[in-house]
Amino acid sequence: MSTELGVRSAVVVAPPVVDRKVRQRRSWLPALLRTVVGRSAAIVVLLAVWEAAPRLGLVDRTFLPPLSEVLRAWWGLLDGGRLGENARASLVRSFSGFGLAVGIGVPLGLLIGWYRPLAELLSPLLELFRNTAALALLPVFVLVLGIGETSKIAIVLYACLWPILLNTISAVRTVDPTLLRLARSLDLSPLRLFQKVILPASVPVVFTGIRLAGAVSILVLVAAEMVGAKAGLGYLINASQYNFAIPQMYAGILTISVIGVAFNQLLLAIERRLTAWRPGPPTS
Amino acid sequence: MSAGIEFRGVSKVFPVRGGDELTAVDGIDLEIAAGEFAVLVGPSGCGKSTLLDLVGGLTVPSAGEILLDGRPVRGPGPDRSTVFQQYALLPWRTAQGNVEFGLEAIGVPRRLRRARAREYLELVGLAGFEERHPHELSGGMRQRVAIARSLAYDPEVLLMDEPFAALDAQTRESLQEELLRIWRRTGKTVLFITHGIEEAVYLGQRVAVMTSRPGRVKAVVPIELPDRAADRDLRSSPEFARYRHEIWSLLHDEVSRAQQWEREVGRV
Ligand SMILES: Nc1ncnc2c1ncn2[C@@H]1O[C@H](COP(=O)(O)OP(=O)(O)OP(=O)(O)O)[C@@H](O)[C@H]1O
Ligand SMILES: [Mg+2]
């Protein structure tokens, strides 16, 4: 009897998907709690050490004040409006540069990746630019564009462009060749091929580049703001250090870290939405 | 609907590095009737996939011509559809979406697409799996989705390039059975490539055996077996064994010749 049940039937019955969902829901809360606790444990320990070490005299509290003091300073900056003002200045520059880089890098990358000869022609050039540190070019940008907003946004744009551009190019060039054969056998027009195969197939790799650029946008900007700026978090940190307002300096650093993490999480969430069909979570 | 395929002195020469040329297939003459299930077997590298590409219109012959229902092939088109060995499913689309992909390509309106895709998924035994993505399906199921996609836009000719090679024996057998059932029901012309002699004998009405490279048609063996649906254990019948042995012998010389050639090339 058991053999009869075994191989014969070619029709497969779908295992009940609902069941899995129910199970997931039931264990949802404790699982979430566990990840939150697990993820934050290391950070909590770090913050505790930060609080305790200066108080116990393990480090000089003039150079590293306890966390509570930094938080008080942070609150003061926020209350006085300085934090908001500087953070806004930084975010506007970061997002402008980043947004422009996405707007230019993705279409350009698609184009270059699509025209193979173009990609081969440009690849040494791209390699050269990518390996030229953006900050090394800061003086050039300042020289050409002045010390105003333009040069700040331009340097962010420049730094963000390469990861996006290079990832987009490689995304287009590494589309599964059997999918291209399939499209060809169906006689798809180049436009349809692009829209229905190349573009969706490229999304994951393009997004890796976008996320990389997201991190770069903040990194580069803060550094740029430390040289010749009148506002921004980089300026705030630098000015605080200059005036020996050490807690304020750390408050600025903390703010940047939090913004960086939040930005990355936002990009990750968007990426997850767009690549929900993928088996694993996006790799960082 | 189905159409016959006719190869008339078809050769395909590839340019290779160093300015040399490589003759993949040479002077192929073969006629496949409309509605026939024809199988092509031959040693590795003899040009089977090349022939399929030519029928599919993905490449053009260096000499000779291929006629489809009497008309020469002039490029790809929806009257032929290929089932690839590597499934070629779009990973970002569900099973349903993948079947619809072929329908979109030929411009079937959206509402009809949905119904037609469901119908064909059901035909290949995948009712209930419409919303699954390829990575949530087994290899056998993925290949069924690919077959459903190929059938859904109602081509006249089904071209299959070792579609079951990557599957385990049991899944393969059940898909073979299913393919025959579908073929009987739809009456399509099928050109099926395989490495498996059993598979060839089991599926084909005729089996064309190719020589090692450059590929030529060495022999065409008509297979006359009792109705496959009625006789469950066809594979262990004496007729089946006889056909298997016949094709095995035809292939054997070619395979050893191909291997010897490869060894010589390797030594140089
Ligand atoms: N685009 C190409 N350029 C150059 N040579 C090619 C090309 N396509 C195929 N060939 C060569 O033509 C020969 C036949 O290839 P083909 O893929 O048709 O063989 P096959 O019979 O399908 O082999 P297998 O059974 O291993 O799939 C091989 O020697 C291969 O190297
Ligand atoms: Mg092949």
| Domain containing residue B244: CATH number | 3.40.50.300
pLDDT (tens place) for every residue of chain B, 268 residues total: 577 899 999 999 999 888 888 888 998 999 999 999 999 999 888 899 999 999 999 999 999 999 998 899 998 988 899 998 888 999 999 999 999 999 998 888 988 999 999 999 998 888 899 999 999 998 889 999 999 999 888 899 999 999 888 888 888 888 888 889 889 988 899 999 998 899 999 999 999 999 888 888 888 989 888 766 665 677 878 888 898 999 998 888 777 777 777 777 666 5
In a shared domain, residues A102 and A51: no
Residue A236 has pLDDT above 50, yes or no: yes
In a shared domain, residues B215 and B232: yes
Would the pTM count as exceeding 0.90? no
What is the per-residue pLDDT across A116-169, written as a single tens digit (0 to 9) for each?
Answer: 888 888 888 888 888 888 888 888 888 888 888 888 999 999 999 999 999 999
Tell me what pLDDT residue A256 has. Answer: 93
Nearest residue to B122 (alpha-carbon basis) of B102, B101, B99, B153: B99
Nearest residue to A256 (alpha-carbon basis) of A226, A284, A212: A226
- The answer to whether the CB of B22 is under 6 A from ligand 1 is yes
CA distance B226 to B4: 24
User: For residues B238 and A199, which has the higher predicted lDDT (pLDDT)?
Assistant: A199
Q: How many CA atoms lie within 13 A of B135 on its CB side?
A: 8
Scanning every residue of chain B, which has its alpha carbon at the shortest distance from the alpha carbon of A273?
B92
Task: Tell me which residue has its CA closest to atom 14 in ligand 1.
Answer: B47
DSSP structural state of residue A214: H
Cα B169 to ligand 2 centre (Å): 20
Nearest residue to A122 (alpha-carbon basis) of A174, A166, A181: A166
What is the per-residue pLDDT across A200-227, written as a single tens digit (0 to 9) for each?
Answer: 999 999 999 999 999 999 998 888 888 8
CA distance B190 to B176: 13
Q: Tell me the count of A-B CB pairs closer than 8 A.
A: 72
Nearest residue to A98 (alpha-carbon basis) of A155, A154, A160: A160
- Residue A73, CA distances (Å) to A45, A192, B174 in order: 21, 57, 72
What is the per-residue pLDDT across A30-61, written as a single tens digit (0 to 9) for each?
Answer: 777 887 787 788 889 999 999 999 999 888 88
Q: Does A197 touch chain B (CB under 8 A)?
A: yes
CA distance A173 to B44: 29
Tell me what pLDDT residue A275 has. Answer: 85
In a shared domain, residues B177 and B252: yes
**3 state DSSP class of A146:** coil
- 3-state SS of B110-151? HHHHHHHHHHHHHHCCCCCCCCCCHHHCCHHHHHHHHHHHHH
Interface of B with A in 192-231 (CB under 8 A): none
In a shared domain, residues B254 and B172: yes
Tell me what pLDDT residue B78 has. Answer: 87
Of B154, B186, B206, the position where a domain reaches its end is B154
Amino acid at B234: L
Q: Which of B22, B193, B265 to mutate to test the pocket of ligand 1 (most atoms within 8 A of CB)?
A: B22
Atom of ligand 1 nearest to the CA of B22: 5
In a shared domain, residues A50 and A87: no
Q: Please give the biggest Cα pair distance in chain A.
A: 87
**Residue A143 belongs to some domain of the structure:** yes
To the nearest whole angstrom, how far is the Cα of B92 from the nearest Cα of chain A?
5
Q: How many CA atoms lie within 13 A of B116 on its CB side?
A: 20
Range of the domain at B90: 83-154
Tell me what pLDDT residue A10 has. Answer: 41
The set of long-range contacts for A176-182, using a CB threshold of 8 Å and a minimum separation of 24, is: A176/A201, A176/B88, A178/B84, A178/B86, A178/B87, A178/B88, A179/B88, A179/B90, A181/B58, A181/B82, A181/B84, A181/B88, A182/B82, A182/B84, A182/B88
- 3-state SS of A243-281? CCCHHHHHHHHHHHHHHHHHHHHHHHHHHHHHCCCCCCC
In a shared domain, residues B121 and B102: yes
- The answer to whether the CB of B16 is under 6 A from ligand 1 is yes
**Residue A76 belongs to some domain of the structure:** yes
> Could B58 and A196 be called an inter-chain contact, meaning their C-beta atoms sit closer than 8 Å?
no
How many other CB atoms are found less than 10 A from the CB of residue B265?
Answer: 8
Residue A187 has pLDDT above 50, yes or no: yes
In a shared domain, residues B68 and B159: yes
Tell me what pLDDT residue A16 has. Answer: 44
Tell me what pLDDT residue B38 has. Answer: 95
**Residues in chain A closer than 8 A to B50 (CB atoms):** none
- Please compute the mean of the pLDDT values over residues A62-73 and round it to a whole number: 92
In a shared domain, residues B118 and B32: no
CA torsion, ordered B105, B161, B243, B258, to nearest 10 deg: 150
In a shared domain, residues A131 and A172: yes
Cα A14 to ligand 2 centre (Å): 33
- The answer to whether the CB of B49 is under 6 A from ligand 1 is yes
Task: Tell me which residue has its CA closest to atom 6 in ligand 1.
Answer: B14
In a shared domain, residues A166 and A249: yes
Residue A28 has pLDDT above 80, yes or no: no
Range of the domain at A131: 67-274
Q: Report which bound ligand comes closest to the CA of B254.
A: 1
Handedness of CA B251, B254, B259, B265 (dihedral sign): negative
Cα B51 to ligand 2 centre (Å): 9
In a shared domain, residues A71 and A150: yes
In a shared domain, residues A214 and A248: yes
**Residue A48 belongs to some domain of the structure:** yes
What φ, ψ does residue B158 adopt, rounded to 5°? -110, 120
| CA A209 to mean position of chain CA atoms | 8
In a shared domain, residues A217 and A270: yes
Nearest residue to B89 (alpha-carbon basis) of B97, B80, B98, B101: B98
Residue A284 has pLDDT above 60, yes or no: no
| CA A155 to mean position of chain CA atoms | 17
- Could you tell me if A101 and A163 are in contact, meaning their C-beta atoms sit under 8 angstroms apart? no
In a shared domain, residues B67 and B108: no
Cα B25 to ligand 1 centre (Å): 9
- Residue identified by tokens 């947004």 is A99
Q: Which of A59-63, A75-79, A172-176, A256-260 has the lowest mean pLDDT?
A: A59-63
- Residue B209, CA distances (Å) to A125, B194, B195, B243, B246 in order: 52, 11, 11, 12, 11
- 3-state SS of A176-191? CHHHHHHHHHCCCCHH
Nearest residue to B220 (alpha-carbon basis) of B239, B200, B237, B240: B200
Residue A255 has pLDDT above 90, yes or no: yes
**Residue A282 belongs to some domain of the structure:** no
Nearest residue to A127 (alpha-carbon basis) of A177, A76, A169, A98: A169
Q: Report which bound ligand comes closest to the CA of B84.
A: 2
In a shared domain, residues B62 and B160: yes
Cα B124 to ligand 2 centre (Å): 24
Domain total for chain A?
2
The set of long-range contacts for B90-94, using a CB threshold of 8 Å and a minimum separation of 24, is: B90/A179, B90/A197, B90/A200, B90/A201, B90/B134, B91/A277, B91/A278, B91/B133, B91/B134, B91/B135, B92/A200, B92/A201, B92/A203, B92/A275, B92/A277, B92/B133, B93/A277, B93/B133, B93/B134, B94/B130, B94/B131, B94/B132, B94/B133
Atom of ligand 1 nearest to the CA of B12: 12
CA distance B93 to A174: 18
- Residue identified by tokens 């009737």 is B33
> Could A200 and B92 be called an inter-chain contact, meaning their C-beta atoms sit closer than 8 Å?
yes
B228 is written with which tokens? 């496959």
Residue A4 has pLDDT above 50, yes or no: no
Q: Does B80 touch chain A (CB under 8 A)?
A: yes
In a shared domain, residues B113 and B74: no
**Residue A60 belongs to some domain of the structure:** no
- Please compute the mean of the pLDDT values over residues A105-117 and round it to a whole number: 91
A223 is written with which tokens? 């550094």
Of B135, B154, B173, the position where a domain reaches its end is B154
